[in-house]
Amino acid sequence: MQTARGTAVSGVGDPPAPRRTGVVLGTALVVLAADLISKIAIVATMQQGETVKLIDGVVKVDYTRNAGAAFSIGTGATILFTGVAVVVAVIIVRQARRLVSRMWAVTLGLLLGGALGNLVDRLFRSPAPFRGHVVDWIQLPHWPVFNLADSAIVIGGVIAVLLATRGIPLDDRAPDSEPEPHE
């Protein structure tokens, strides 16, 4: 069917949009690896509570353990945070299968990698499985200590808000369009 001579009806005959699952998983893997390597290095070379100045007055390495969420909120709810991280990871992986937007793929990859980085700590670090304390080590002036996973989550969250406010959809359909029936 044609709308005018030589032009196809929208959606008919268009090649399918590429899926971005690989971008999500690749981004998440890079974030997870960087986070785990940095935490292993900190734990292996520093004592908990030790501080090292990197850039005087700007950046310090301050090795701490965090039983709570961001800003040490909810230190008694470690199991809850573990469950939330698992649910978030599952939702992102499921959504990744339908994703065609490259920017959303990078954004969800940052969120997934960050969630997995902190989840690994919660699952495997002391004091107990599913109750592990997250290794935090980056200290900026007037800001709580954090890690690379936290950074990825915050950056991913900011990008998600920007993409959503600009109306950029997760997939290639227009925001108000109906999905096409499958034959």
Residues that are catalytic = 136, 150
Place of tokens 């268009």: 14
DSSP E strands in 71-170: the ranges are 134-139
Task: Give dist(CA 107, CA 159) in Å, integer.
Answer: 6
Task: Give dist(CA 59, CA 65) in Å, integer.
Answer: 18
Please report how many Cα atoms fall inside a 13 Å half-sphere around the Cα of residue 144, on the Cβ side.
Answer: 15
Task: Give dist(CA 114, CA 112) in Å, integer.
Answer: 5
Cβ proximity of 121 and 114 under 8 Å: no
Token pair belonging to 19: 């899926």
